[in-house]
Amino acid sequence: MTRFVQQPDYEGAEFIDLSMASATFREVDLSGARMHGVLLLNADIDGAIDGLRINGVEIMPLIEAELDRLHPERLRLRPTTPETMRDAVDVIEELWHATVRRASALPEEAVYRSVNDEWSLAQTLRHTIFVVDAWYGHAAALRPNPFHPIGVPASFTTNGAEFGIDESAAPTLGEILAVRAERIADLRSYLAEVTQEELDRVRGPNTAIGCPSPAERTAAKCLQVIFSDEWAHVQFANRDLATLEQEYA
């Protein structure tokens, strides 16, 4: 299979009378793309999608409504108050505990296996550590050095080593879960005392090197990013576990 990696030459390009059947697009920016007369049969798309119109219909509101119907816990992951924030932490912890229990029924190696070039479960859990460090420790709490070395940033974050990420780290599942538990306990401690005024106060930017980029944000908005990301990644993990379960059956 031909691979095209980090080639910005295609921005603004036109693709006419070509076959891209069975092609894979990973971490590709398709913002502003225009597709006319395309065949899009049995395709599978996930990502940050907004304003997408198909045959004249904006589809994201329809998708969001259907996801809420299929996964009613999502309604609890849009918190705005200290109480609903604490409940949202409960939701994500329940989801991850169920996923880790599911993985424990497989051979130990399965936790570290990639499916279709996606992150393994271990890497996904390490990414959730990074997300809490980024959006709570860095963006909301404005800490100078919030990043744990075993965290896994998104692929577009290429300077993780500069703010403490150990790209060679290979922690065990037990070590990953222990660090994640520390992060969740830290978040719970903050939410146990935080006031509505503090959640809604605009703070920052944090000028220390890290992720996300410096900007003024409320703690509420930062924590909402965490809950949204956690939910999405637990879905990815369970999707890949289903494939692994079939392989090990």
128 and 180 Cβ atoms separated by less than 8 Å: yes
pLDDT in tens, 90-120: 999 999 999 999 999 999 999 999 999 899 9
Residue type, position 189, single letter? S
Q: What's the CA gap between 86 and 17, in Å, rounded?
A: 52
Determine the straight-line distance between the first and last CA of the chain, rounded to whole angstroms: 29
Pick the more confident residue, 31 or 143.
143
Residue 91 has a CB neighbour count (10 Å cut-off) of 18
Q: pLDDT band at 147, cuts 50/70/90?
A: very high
The predicted structure's pLDDT at residue 156: 83
Q: What's the CA gap between 227 and 216, in Å, rounded?
A: 19
Q: What's the CA gap between 98 and 241, in Å, rounded?
A: 12
78 and 85 Cβ atoms separated by less than 8 Å: no
The predicted structure's pLDDT at residue 82: 98
Whether residue 8 is predicted with pLDDT greater than 70 in this model: the reply is no
Mean pLDDT for the stretch of residues 15-29: 86
Q: Which residue has the tokens 């004249």?
A: 56
121 and 241 Cβ atoms separated by less than 8 Å: yes
Half-sphere exposure of 2 (CA within 13 A, CB side): 3
Q: What's the CA gap between 109 and 105, in Å, rounded?
A: 11
The predicted structure's pLDDT at residue 44: 85
Whether residue 223 is predicted with pLDDT greater than 90 in this model: the reply is yes
Q: Token pair of 75, please? A: 């309604």
Helix axes of 82-104 and 219-248: crossing angle, nearest 10 degrees:
20
